[in-house]
Structure 1
């Protein structure tokens, strides 16, 4: 497949981590990929091998960078993988390192109050990064990436469910990944910008056609 006329960003959520498998909210804590996660990353890499891309960027968190490394291997990408801090997951405050069941057991009053708040107020209540704080750094990272490459190039970015969701909802509206939905592990979201930077256009949301038994965005809270 040739390079596109527009600039395309292929945004990949990392493969399943060991924390994802247990339902643990990771935030910026470090967890490796599970065996299933490594397989998911390999399948994403094989799918991306059919779409030549110019550059590969990643969150520096281990689960994302390992996913990017596997994608590079399976797609035949030989250039450097570029880590950018701005692509990291939302810092989760007191949510990090626990399942939701543990939160409810450890502090039921907190859990009840958290669920009663509008989403935009929950993060501050939990001591987590707000959407505004996530977007400030994530948007800066995406802008930096886009400025490094000309029109008509395809770029792969490996990031995280929560940060990606904040970006996609900011750009394309609240109907994108509503409620507790996140892009599935190792899913591929395609965004396009036309000539002279027009757009962006959401071309494909959280595709999992390359993954066996997957149907698209999931409802996990474990970021």
Structure 2
């Protein structure tokens, strides 16, 4: 199954260096322009089905980028990592208030788990389980998913390295970028972080 993944457009909290996690902030004017640019990337292809994270910023991006005739299925499994008490706080605030947790986030990713949130491995479990189910139950050949930066990093890390400890070796994915993977018994990435703006 070919899986095309789009990261949402730029948001207000992206500009303020705030952790969003499973909270939301609106797309900026630039984010709206980026979402419109996604049309250029995806209009050349047809998809069996379109999915989106159930968070507002991905739904907004999908609604701008997609032909409104095509339905979009919202799935919680494609939501951003739940960062618990970090959500809504700036990077500086988190470094000050949660120093040891922040250190684990960057230095020991396998052991990291947000207080009242989740860890990277949990993100991988829910996303891979969901993709397997979509493939098994529906038999789709090509799907499109609107999702989040950390979800993309987790998928990339597990496919390329097979070990979540290498998550910071994965690239950062630009807002409204396209990444394409082949979801097979041995998944591979055929295109990464393509933008059209």
- Aligned pairs (5 A) from 1:1-223: 7-72=1-66, 76=67, 78-105=69-96, 107=97, 110-111=98-99, 114-115=102-103, 117-124=107-114, 126-150=115-139, 153-173=141-161, 178-179=168-169, 181-193=171-183, 197-208=184-195, 210-211=196-197
- Could you tell me which runs of 5 or more consecutive residues in structure 1 were left unpaired when the two chains were aligned: 1-6, 212-223
Distance 1:177 1:132, change over 3 A: closer
- Distance between the aligned counterparts of 1:164 and 1:57, measured in 2? 15
- Distance between the aligned counterparts of 2:88 and 2:47, measured in 1? 35
Distance 1:21 1:53, change over 3 A: same
- What TM-score results when the alignment is normalised by the length of structure 2? 0.86
By how many angstroms is 1:199 displaced? Answer: 3.4
> In structure 1, the residue corresponding to 2:179 is in which secondary structure?
strand
By how many angstroms is 1:176 displaced? Answer: 7.5
- Could you tell me which runs of 5 or more consecutive residues in structure 2 were left unpaired when the two chains were aligned: none
Q: 1:32-57 deviations in whole A, cap 9, x for unaligned? A: 21111111111012210011222110
Q: 1:80-117 deviations in whole A, cap 9, x for unaligned? A: 10001100111101211111112234x2xx32563264
User: What RMSD in Å do the two structures reach over aligned CA positions?
Assistant: 2.3
By how many angstroms is 1:77 displaced? Answer: 5.7
- What TM-score results when the alignment is normalised by the length of structure 1? 0.77
Residue-pair matches, total: 193
- Distance between the aligned counterparts of 2:182 and 2:166, measured in 1? 16
By how many angstroms is 1:148 displaced? Answer: 4.6
> In structure 1, the residue corresponding to 2:110 is in which secondary structure?
helix
Distance 1:171 1:95, change over 3 A: same
By how many angstroms is 1:134 displaced? Answer: 1.4
Corresponding residue of 1:217: none
Whether the 8 Å contact between 2:38 and 2:65 is mirrored in structure 1 is: yes
